[in-house]
Structure formats: structure tokens, C-alpha cells
């Protein structure tokens, strides 16, 4: 069951080979055994989860099961869940119990899924290594000395270590795809607006998008079916006909035009990663795909543009954490300004404080045009690059991350090196495009390499189709880390 | 050398929607603290704003009423600052692209009509309220008001006196109620003005201005501006300089005092709110709103001027408030087109004076428009004189009954029987030989005294025109 696909699990539940309670306990046991080592979960509540599993078993017994009924799902601790501690990896929310359910949580409850626990993450999703959490760093299941990637590192590690069959994350600059790559699992960031942001604690509103983690593209499709769809509570949510993201999974790839961006194979790309990606491209050739060389000339500007826009929005989004109404408040203060200052200085970690400072600076009077406005123009140029590219190809494929997982602590003192981890993933966020990362081999130290697939707007089904056909021919996604008993 | 006064007003009109600008919470006034603050209003983690269509519709209505440009695309922006009554740490407002640009409002002062142009009107949300009493050295926060929709209406600096500023504020106040977008309740803060005031020598560039905040009555507005003008002129005449600052009017001391200077002004770090898409307004929507617009004050005053043969001034006065205009028109229609002028005089005269005396609005007048019309008909058909009508009016106002009942009960019917009047005239002439002589000797005053005596003898009921005519005939001069 630990290695089973969601369809296999669902079928086991339907045929009463296992109950949801047993399944939930199985994964809770796995979490209990491994979390001390990996620190993938911030909150686990066995009683509550088993209670939900019992209810799911009731639905299954009544024949009222939906595809995910009874299946445990782990959620990044950025999603507010009623009566669950919801910390966003921060001290400032270390006492915050959710008073309502996020849209995504509601969707999973509605589907009869079981909330397995809340996963660890970089504080406020700011980071690429899951080291900045107030709850300590997440460890990579493939090598506990390494980071799992971030910011959704807890969810990625949970899937890799088989502590959960499915999980959710959020992706602002690569926070689903990069940890998926570094942890050897599958992750999808949908088109901006496909999944409601209601109840997802905002980092950079114009970039944030929720998405699923799983072991396979097929599982991602089943999870996306649950969370996609219009929500009037989010003004940026897109109203469109619901679709079945599994519908094109089996479509042959003959004639598929694969765009290969030369900019993503140049300087900075580690040779081991390049080699694995090249092998994957060759595999796709064999499946009938045609390679097209494309240019994304403005993608070199994506990291600087991103590090203006995202901190700008974050500096404003995080203003509500002021100690006045909820969350952590400093103990000793002399007046209001002192209360704000101490609460925020003590409640936020270093990286969050750095980004608030950057964001405040770039929005300041006299700097706005030079930074924020210019970054928005670059953003448009990057989107235009993709528009041009998708005239010539159906999907853009390259490496997800320039390197495999790095050692814990290796980049914490050099923010720019840390930021460059997301050089290949950020353009999709700036353009609002759907993108996925799937395992495509191993590099130095036997650490996983991720293949990055970017599609045109609303082409999630196409991305999943390519990934699924690739996974039918390969078994990288079935590999699991050794030594986890 | 004289000083020229330059005033611009920024007015916050609370839009009369059932729910808030970006949340579904109620906007009703006076609820227990924090009972009307939703998850969005208290800015819980993860919540998002959704713009209230009814508020947008009201802004469109305003734009159409002032002849402004309705921007087909406007943008909500965040104004960032920290304060406990601002839960998100930013206020959602409109900055670079407001929903309405331009337009004008025509005001009426003793000097005549004047058009005041508007810079813009934009949508925004209100903040909550900080309560500094009753908490033993701590402050309480009430977020019921947080998120209430406001339309901020900014005028050009085109007013030249406190009188004009008050006339502008009153006209605007009447207009927002006229078109049903704001209840105009100033005590509850539904309509608040900030006054930007500066002075300069005529022809000189604009002087440094001060902004006096949150003045919530017309009288305070006038007092605050007068104080500020005097203060600024005194400083300048003493060779000093005006400091650009925000000031607060204190009605108890009748003065303005400094709140903060430009140096400690916030850098609000405005930027487009990424949680909200640009506000796009379709032609169809504007047409729909246009079709449902009521007749506006300017249109109505033009119509009164032509249809009822009023002076332009009277037509403007009667259309200062919708209720007054409706009251007048009901009465005018009932009394008949030919006597509309009479109706206008009574509405602006006796009715207005009585309302003033009691300090109530015309919607609470003790005499309804149809009741007034009956009284006016009795003047028009000669049953009573205008003078007697005032008595009847007072009795009606006091609730003694209808015009006809009072005339009947008090026996106030005018004497128009020529024979009867002639008899009384003869008696008076006989008793006043001296005045008759004086009049014939050329003293016109004597005539008035004779008229007065006839009227006195008939308790004012004789038809004055007939008395005049008979007296003149009998005195034969």
C-alpha cells in the first residue's frame, strides 16, 4: 500500500481489502517512525485523522465513495484548516489555530479524503530548501544531510518517504516543482487562477498557486480534479468549465512538439542534471515527439524581476501579522510602535525579514518606477517569450533545477545562490503558466533529478499526458529512497 | 493688499450598500463592537477581498450625475501603513486609476451660481475605530466599520470662501442623497469633509496648503475654514511661512491644530492590489445605470424654471434637496400651474421658516404638500387674503385641522361683498374727517391709515383689493 497508486488504493478501499482507518493508521505509523529523522510534518493529529477515516469508511460502505474517498492527504502548513494549528512555518503563527477551512481543504473534505497532517515548509513559503522553518529544517529522504528543496519540502519529503500517498503544496517561484525534483517525486503547479487561493496564506498573491504532489502523473491528475475549479471568494480564480485532467493521460505522443529552451542548458546547469534531462528528451524522441529548439531570451531576467515583485507583494501581505489580533505578540513593549517592532522582529525569521525589507524598499516613493514597474514590464516580456514559443511547440521541457539536492546549510549564508535554484521554475510563475516536475534519473550522490515540463495556459491535461506516457516507459518515479526501512 | 483664499474639499461619502466593500459583512450602524467584522474584515490569514458590485454601481451613478468620465478600467491599489484599526496593514483604495475622473457641481451662493470642477472620485474601504477610553490605559479596537465602502470625492481647489465651500459641501451632500448612494448622516460619519486651504496674493502661484481632517458638520466646516484662513493670513502678514501639514478641527475650542507635518507623513507605498483584478465596467452596465437615474437637480431646476415660470434663483433653491423639490412640485401641481409661483413663495417662505424653527427636514413637515395646496387654493380663489392665510398656516402647523376647517371655524372667510365693504368704508370715513382731509391735501400716508382701519374693523377679512378700490373711488382724488 505504501507504494500503491491512488487508483490502486481506491480500488483496495472499494473492494474492502483495506479500510480507510487501516490505511490512515498505516501512514500515521510511517510518519511516527520517520518524522523524527525527516521533520516533514509540523502537525499530526492521529485522533482527528482517524475520525475522518472512519467517516470515509462510512461513505464507502454506503457506496457513496468518490475517487479519493478515504485516501489520506498531507497538506502544506500554508493552508488554513479549521481546528488545525496552521503555522506557515513561522513563529508568528505558532499559536494560530485555523478558524475556517481553505478552499483546497474544503475540496478534499468534500471528496471524502482524510487530512493526514500539516507539512513543514520554509517560513511563509520563502525559500528553496525548507531550512527557514521555525520548526527546523526538513531532511531529504534520499540523503538526510541534504535539503529536500523548498518551500514545500515537507510535502515532497512526505511523498518520497512514503509517509503520505498524496500531498499539497504551493508554488510562487518553484516551491512545488523544485522540491519535487530534489526529492524525486512528481509535482504540478497549475495555471494561475485554476486553484482558488482562498485560505492559502498569501506570500506573493500574483504568483502563488496551489498544486498537488504525488508519485505519478496519473495521481497528480486525480488530485487536480479535486482542487481545480472556480471559487467566487478569490477574485483571481478563473471561471471555466470543469475538466477531467485524466482524460488525455493515455494519448500517444506521436507528433508532439517538444520545445527545448537553449537558455536552460547553458552555464549554471550541473552536468549530471544535464545528462539525465538529455536522456529523458531522447526517451521522448523514441515516443514520437519532435524536438524544437526555442528561445526564452528574457528568462535570464526572471530571477531579478521575481525578487522585486514577490518581496513587494509579500511586504504588504505580511503586514497583517502585527500581534494585534492573533498570532505571536512580543512580551515586553513600551508603546504601539514598540509592540509592532518587537513582535515582527521576534516573530519573523531572517529570510522573511530580508524579503519584507526588500519589498518595502522597492515600493518606496521614488523607487517604485525603477524597480516594481520595471519588473512588471519584464514580467510581460517573459510571458511574451512563452507566447512566441508556444506557436512552435506544445510543451517546453528542460531541467527543473540546476543541481541535485545540496547539503543542509550550504547556501543559507548566500541568499543569491539560494535564489538561483529557481532560475528555471520562476518564468512559469511570472507568466502564470502550468508546469510540472517529474523524476527523470539520478545525479551526483545518487540524488534525484527532475524534468521540468511547462505548458500553455490551461494545458495541464497535456503536461500530464506527456508525463504519464513518459512514466509508462520509465520507472524513475517508482524508485524509493533506501534505508528508510 | 488683499488675500485670495483657495479651498479644495475631499469628501468621504459612505455608500449605502447592505454589505461591505470587499466582504459580505453588514454595514449597519450601531452594532455591538466587532459583531460585524467578518474573517476578511479582521484580516485573518488566507482571506481575500471580493469587490462589492453595489458599491461600484453607486460610484457609476455618481459619475453620471456629475458628468464625469467613468473609467472603463480602474485599479484597486493598496495604501500601506500600520495602525491597529487597519487590520490588513493596508487600505484598499484607488490611486492612479480611479473609477470617476472629472465632472462638476454647480453651487449657489448670494453671489450667484458657480461651477466647481471635480478632480476625481474613487472607491475605497473605511478603517475600523480605535477607542481610547474605558480600557484602563489600553485601547480598544472596533472593526465593525472596517471595510465599509466609501466614495472619496475630490474637488479642484476652486472655492474662494468658506461660504462657497459650505455651499459645495451642501450641494454635494444633497446630490449623493438625491441619487440614493449615501444616507448623508453626518453624525454617524456617513459624510465627512477634509478641507484643503491656502491663501495667496491675487495672481500669485498657489500658497502652501494645510489639510483639515474629518469635519463632520457644515457649521464646523465653515468655522474650521474661517479659522484656518485667519490663521494663515496672520502668519503670512507677520512675515511667517505656512507649514504643509494635516490639522484637526476642535469644535470645543473652535480652532484647528496640527496633527502631523509633511516631514512625518507616511510613505504609503501604493501598488496595485494583486488580490483584485482591474475593475472593468462595460458600456452595457453604464447604460443600464443611466436608464435608472432619477431626474437630477440641475435638470429639475431647469424644468421648474420653464414649466412653472419661476425665477432661475427660486428654481435652484427649490431643487437644493430632492424632498423639497418633490414637496414643491406636489403642491404646485395641485394648486395649478398659474399659481406655482405662489407655491414656490410659500415653500421657500413659511414652510422653510417653520422647518428651520423646529430644526426638522421637509419630510417631517407638519403640513403635507397636498394640505398646503388646499390653503394656497383658498388664496388663489379669493376666499382668504395672504395675510389671513398666514394665520391659517400657523393653525394648520399646530395641528388644528385642514385649511377649510380652520377658515370655517374661525370665520376667516374674506369679505368680498361690495355692499358690505362700502358700508364699513362709509363708517370709517365719517369717523376720520381729519385723515380724509389730509389725504385730499396730498398726504398719501393718510390713505394707508384708512385702509388699516377698514381692515381692523373687518378683522382683516375684507378683500384688500376691493377696500383699496372703494376707498379711492369714495375719496375721489
Using alpha carbons, list the distances in angstroms from residue A145 to A139, A148, A388, A406, B45: 7, 10, 42, 8, 33
Q: Which ipTM score applies to this complex?
A: 0.96
Looking at residue B385, what is its pLDDT?
Answer: 84
List of chain B residues whose C-beta atoms are within 8 Å of the C-beta of residue A315:
80, 269
Nearest to B199 by CA among B223, B174, B234, B150: B234
How many Å is the maximal CA-CA distance in chain A? Answer: 70
Beta carbons of B46 and A80 less than 8 Å apart: yes
Q: What is the dihedral of CA A443, A445, A448, A453, to 10 degrees?
A: -30
pLDDT for the residue A485: 67
Residues A451 and A280: beta-carbon distance below 8 Å: yes
Size of interface A-B (CB pairs under 8 A): 92
Describe the crossing of helices B297-307 and B162-178 by its angle, rounded to 10 degrees. Answer: 90
Alpha carbon distance B93, B147 (integer Å) = 11
Q: What is the pTM of this model?
A: 0.91
Judge whether B318 and B346 are in contact, CB under 8 Å: no
User: Which of A237, A325, A374 should we substitute to test contact with B (largest number of B Cβ atoms within 10 Å)?
Assistant: A325
B418-475 placed in CATH 1.10.10.60: no
Residue A152 scores a pLDDT above 90: yes
Q: Does B128 contact A at CB distance below 8 Å?
A: no
Residue boundaries of the structural domains of chain B: 4-288, 295-410, 418-475
pLDDT of residue B477: 59
Mean pLDDT of B224-253: 94
Q: Which residues of chain A does B39 touch, with a Cβ-Cβ cutoff of 8 Å?
A: 99-100
Strands B140-142 and B129-131: antiparallel
Q: What is the pLDDT of residue B264?
A: 67
Cα angle B118, B123, B128; round to 5: 120
> Which region holds residue B380: left if phi is over 0, alpha if psi is between -120 and 50, else beta?
alpha
Per the CB < 8 A criterion, the answer to whether A167 and A424 are in contact is no
- Which residues is B4 bridged to in the sheet? B200
pLDDT for B390: 94
Q: What is the DSSP string of B265-281?
A: ------EE-TTS--EE-
Cα within 13 Å of Cα(A259), Cβ side: 23
Cβ neighbours for B405, distance < 8 A, ≥ 6 positions apart: none
Q: What pLDDT, in 10s, does the model give residues B247-283?
A: 999 989 988 999 877 666 789 999 999 999 999 999 9
Contact A95, A87 (CB under 8 A): no
β B149-155/B140-142 pair status: unpaired
Confidence at residue B413, expressed as pLDDT on a 0 to 100 scale: 83
Residues of A in contact with B43 (CB under 8 A): 320, 325
Tens of pLDDT, residues A47-63: 999 999 999 999 999 99
| Residue B35 three-state SS | coil
Could you give the 3-state DSSP secondary structure of residue A466?
helix
Over residues B393-439, the pLDDT tens digits come to 999 999 999 999 999 888 888 777 788 888 888 888 888 888 888 88
- Cell representation of residue B60: 457609476
pLDDT tens for residues B155-164? Answer: 999 999 999 9
A408 touches B at CB < 8 Å: no
Range with the poorest average pLDDT among A121-130, B211-220, B341-350, B379-388: B379-388
Q: Is the pLDDT of residue B308 over 70?
A: yes
What is the C-alpha separation between A146 and A125, in angstroms, rounded? Answer: 19
The whole-number pLDDT of residue B280 equals 97
A365 and B CB contact within 8 Å:
yes
B59 vs A: CB within 8 A: no
Active site residues of A: 76, 151, 175
The predicted-structure confidence for B322-331, as pLDDT tens digits, reads as follows 899 999 999 9
pLDDT at A6: 98
Residue B461: the pLDDT is: 82
Q: Is A413 on the interface with B (CB under 8 A)?
A: no
Over residues A24-37, the pLDDT tens digits come to 999 999 999 999 99
- Cell numbers of A322, please? 502585527
Q: Whole-angstrom Cα distance, residue A184 to residue B378?
A: 97
Report the candidate in A119, A116, A126, A122 with the shortest Cα–Cα distance to residue A137: A122
A371 touches chain B (CB under 8 A): no
The span from the CA of A340 to the CA of A4, in Å, is 49
The pLDDT confidence band at residue A1, using thresholds 50, 70 and 90, is confident
Is the bond preceding A151 in cis, omega lying within 30 degrees of 0?
A: yes
Calculate ∠ Cα B68-B125-A357, nearest 5°.
115
Percent of chain A with pLDDT over 90: 96
C-beta of residue A38 within 8 angstroms of C-beta of residue A162:
no
pLDDT of residue B444: 81
In order of B80, B145, B187, the CA distances from B141 in angstroms are 19, 10, 20
Q: Which carries the bigger pLDDT value, residue A3 or residue B447?
A: A3
Average pLDDT of the segment spanning B307-311: 92
User: How would residue A261 be classed by pLDDT, with cut points 50, 70 and 90?
Assistant: very high
pLDDT over threshold 80, residue B1: no
Q: What are the tens digits of pLDDT across the range B2-26?
A: 999 999 999 999 999 999 999 999 9
Q: Å from B274 to nearest chain A CA?
A: 5
Which of B38, B46, B146, B277 is the mutation pick for testing A, counting most A CBs within 10 A? B46
**Average confidence (pLDDT) over B195-219:** 93
What's the gap between Cα A355 and its chain centre? 20
Q: Is the dihedral of CA B141, B145, B149, B152 positive or negative?
A: negative
* Cα(A293)–Cα(A243) distance, integer angstroms: 31
What confidence tens digit (pLDDT) does each residue in A158-174 have?
Answer: 999 999 999 999 999 99
Could you please state the CATH topology (level 3) that the domain comprising A1-485 is classified under: Amidase signature (AS) enzymes (3.90.1300)
- For testing the chain A interface, which of B41, B48, B272 should be mutated: the one with the most A CBs within 10 Å? B48
Predicted local distance difference test score (pLDDT) of residue B441: 84
- Nearest by CB: A200 against B46, B49, B276: B46
All three cell numbers of B28, joined, read 449597519
List, edge to edge, every strand of the sheet that includes B271-272. B90-94, B76-80, B271-272
Q: Any CB–CB contact under 8 A between B49 and chain A? A: yes
Q: Which grid coordinates belong to B320?
A: 437644493
State the Cα–Cα distance between residues A436 and A186, nearest whole angstrom: 7
pLDDT tens digits for range B76-114: 999 999 999 999 999 999 999 999 999 999 998 888 889
List the single residue in B48, B51, B78 with the smallest CB-CB distance to A197. Answer: B48
What is the domain partition of chain A in residue ranges?
1-485
Mean pLDDT, to the nearest integer, of A221-233?
A: 98
Amino acid at each position: 500500500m505504501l507504494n500503491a497508486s491512488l487508483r490502486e488504493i481506491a480500488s483496495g478501499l472499494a473492494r474492502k481489502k483495506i479500510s480507510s482507518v487501516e490505511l490512515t493508521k498505516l501512514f500515521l505509523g510511517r510518519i511516527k517512525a520517520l518524522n523524527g529523522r525527516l521533520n516533514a510534518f509540523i502537525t499530526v493529529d492521529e485522533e482527528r485523522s482517524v475520525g475522518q477515516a472512519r467517516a470515509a469508511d462510512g461513505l464507502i460502505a454506503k457506496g457513496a465513495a468518490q475517487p479519493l474517498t478515504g485516501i489520506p492527504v498531507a497538506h502544506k502548513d500554508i493552508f488554513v484548516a479549521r481546528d488545525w494549528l496552521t503555522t506557515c512555518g513561522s513563529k508568528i503563527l505558532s499559536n494560530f489555530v485555523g478558524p475556517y477551512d481553505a478552499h483546497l481543504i474544503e475540496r478534499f473534505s468534500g471528496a471524502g479524503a482524510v487530512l493526514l497532517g500539516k507539512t513543514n515548509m520554509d517560513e511563509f513559503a520563502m525559500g528553496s530548501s525548507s531550512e527557514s522553518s521555525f520548526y527546523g529544517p526538513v531532511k531529504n529522504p534520499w540523503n538526510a544531510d541534504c535539503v529536500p528543496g523548498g518551500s514545500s519540502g515537507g510535502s515532497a519529503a512526505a511523498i518520497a518517504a512514503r509517509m503520505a500517498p498524496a500531498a499539497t503544496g504551493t508554488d510562487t517561484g518553484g516551491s512545488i516543482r523544485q522540491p519535487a525534483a530534489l526529492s524525486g517525486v512528481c509535482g504540478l503547479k497549475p495555471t494561475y487562477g485554476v486553484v482558488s487561493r482562498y485560505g492559502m496564506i498569501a506570500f506573493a498573491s500574483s504568483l502563488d498557486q496551489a498544486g498537488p504532489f504525488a508519485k505519478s502523473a496519473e495521481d497528480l491528475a486525480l488530485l487536480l480534479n479535486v482542487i481545480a475549479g472556480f471559487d467566487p471568494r478569490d477574485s483571481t480564480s478563473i471561471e471555466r468549465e470543469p475538466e477531467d485532467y485524466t482524460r488525455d493521460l493515455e494519448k500517444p505522443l506521436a507528433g508532439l512538439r517538444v520545445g527545448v529552451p537553449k537558455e536552460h542548458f547553458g552555464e549554471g546547469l550541473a552536468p549530471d542534471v544535464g545528462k539525465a534531462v538529455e536522456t529523458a528528451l531522447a526517451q521522448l524522441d523514441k515516443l514520437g515527439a519532435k524536438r524544437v529548439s526555442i528561445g526564452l531570451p528574457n528568462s535570464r531576467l526572471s530571477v531579478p524581476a521575481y525578487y522585486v515583485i514577490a518581496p513587494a507583494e509579500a511586504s504588504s501581505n505580511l503586514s497583517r501579522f502585527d500581534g494585534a489580533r492573533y498570532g505571536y505578540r512580543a512580551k515586553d513593549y513600551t508603546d504601539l510602535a514598540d509592540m509592532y517592532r518587537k513582535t515582527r522582529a521576534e516573530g519573523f525569521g531572517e529570510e522573511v525579514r530580508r524579503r519584507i525589507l526588500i519589498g518595502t524598499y522597492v515600493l518606496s516613493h521614488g523607487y517604485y518606477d525603477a524597480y516594481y514597474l520595471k519588473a512588471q514590464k519584464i514580467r510581460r516580456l517573459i510571458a511574451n517569450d512563452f507566447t512566441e514559443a508556444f506557436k512552435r511547440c506544445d510543451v517546453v521541457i528542460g531541467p527543473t533545477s540546476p543541481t541535485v539536492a545540496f547539503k543542509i546549510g550550504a547556501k543559507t549564508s548566500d541568499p543569491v545562490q539560494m535564489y538561483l535554484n529557481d532560475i528555471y521554475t520562476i518564468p512559469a510563475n511570472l507568466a502564470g503558466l502550468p508546469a510540472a516536475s517529474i523524476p527523470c534519473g539520478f545525479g551526483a550522490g545518487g540524488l534525484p533529478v527532475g524534468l521540468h515540463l511547462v505548458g500553455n495556459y490551461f494545458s495541464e491535461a497535456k503536461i500530464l499526458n506527456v508525463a504519464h506516457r513518459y512514466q509508462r516507459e520509465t520507472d524513475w518515479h517508482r524508485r524509493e529512497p533506501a534505508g528508510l526501512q | 493688499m488683499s488675500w485670495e483664499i483657495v479651498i479644495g474639499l475631499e469628501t468621504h461619502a459612505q455608500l449605502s450598500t447592505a454589505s461591505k466593500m470587499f466582504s459580505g459583512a453588514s454595514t449597519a450602524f450601531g452594532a455591538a463592537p466587532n459583531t460585524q467584522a467578518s474573517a476578511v474584515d479582521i484580516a485573518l490569514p488566507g482571506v481575500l477581498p471580493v469587490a462589492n458590485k453595489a458599491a461600484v454601481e453607486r460610484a457609476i451613478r455618481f459619475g453620471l450625475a456629475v458628468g464625469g468620465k467613468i473609467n472603463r478600467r480602474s485599479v484597486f491599489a493598496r495604501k500601506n501603513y500600520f495602525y491597529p484599526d487597519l487590520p490588513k496593514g493596508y487600505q484598499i483604495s484607488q490611486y492612479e486609476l480611479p473609477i470617476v475622473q472629472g465632472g462638476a457641481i454647480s453651487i449657489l451662493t448670494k453671489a450667484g451660481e458657480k461651477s466647481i470642477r471635480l478632480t476625481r472620485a474613487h472607491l475605497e474601504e473605511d478603517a475600523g475605530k480605535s477607542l481610547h477610553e474605558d480600557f484602563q490605559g489600553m485601547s480598544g479596537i472596533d472593526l465593525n466599520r472596517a471595510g465599509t465602502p466609501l466614495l472619496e470625492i475630490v474637488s479642484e481647489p476652486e472655492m474662494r470662501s468658506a461660504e462657497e465651500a459650505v455651499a459645495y459641501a451642501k450641494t454635494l451632500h444633497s446630490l449623493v442623497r438625491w441619487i440614493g448612494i449615501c444616507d448623508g448622516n453626518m453624525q454617524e460619519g456617513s459624510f465627512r469633509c477634509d478641507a484643503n486651504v491656502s491663501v495667496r496674493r491675487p495672481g500669485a502661484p498657489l500658497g502652501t496648503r494645510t489639510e483639515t481632517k474629518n469635519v463632520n458638520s457644515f457649521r464646523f466646516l465653515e468655522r474650521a475654514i474661517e479659522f484656518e484662513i485667519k490663521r494663515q493670513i496672520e502668519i503670512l502678514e507677520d512675515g511667517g511661512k505656512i507649514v504643509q501639514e494635516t490639522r484637526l478641527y476642535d469644535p470645543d475650542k473652535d480652532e484647528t491644530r496640527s496633527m502631523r507635518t509633511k516631514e512625518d507623513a507616511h510613505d504609503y507605498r501604493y501598488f496595485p492590489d494583486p488580490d483584485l483584478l482591474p475593475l472593468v465596467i462595460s458600456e452595457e452596465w453604464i447604460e443600464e445605470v443611466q436608464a435608472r437615474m432619477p431626474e437630477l437637480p440641475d435638470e429639475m431646476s431647469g424644468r421648474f424654471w420653464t414649466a412653472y415660470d419661476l425665477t432661475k434663483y427660486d428654481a435652484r433653491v427649490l431643487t437644493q434637496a430632492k424632498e423639497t423639490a418633490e414637496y414643491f412640485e406636489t403642491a404646485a401641481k395641485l394648486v395649478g400651474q398659474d399659481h406655482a409661483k405662489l407655491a414656490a413663495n410659500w415653500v421657500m417662505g413659511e414652510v422653510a421658516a417653520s422647518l428651520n424653527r423646529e430644526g426638522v427636514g421637509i419630510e417631517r413637515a407638519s403640513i403635507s404638500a397636498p394640505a398646503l395646496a388646499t390653503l394656497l387654493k383658498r388664496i388663489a380663489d379669493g376666499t382668504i387674503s395672504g395675510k389671513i392665510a398666514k394665520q391659517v398656516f400657523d393653525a394648520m402647523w399646530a395641528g388644528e385641522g385642514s385649511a377649510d376647517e380652520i377658515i370655517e371655524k374661525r370665520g376667516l372667510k374674506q369679505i368680498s361683498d361690495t355692499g358690505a365693504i362700502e358700508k364699513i368704508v362709509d363708517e370709517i370715513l365719517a369717523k376720520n374727517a381729519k385723515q380724509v382731509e389730509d389725504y385730499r391735501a396730498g398726504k398719501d400716508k393718510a390713505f394707508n391709515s384708512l385702509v388699516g382701519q377698514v381692515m381692523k374693523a373687518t378683522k382683516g377679512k375684507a378683500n384688500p383689493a376691493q377696500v383699496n378700490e372703494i376707498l379711492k373711488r369714495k375719496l375721489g382724488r
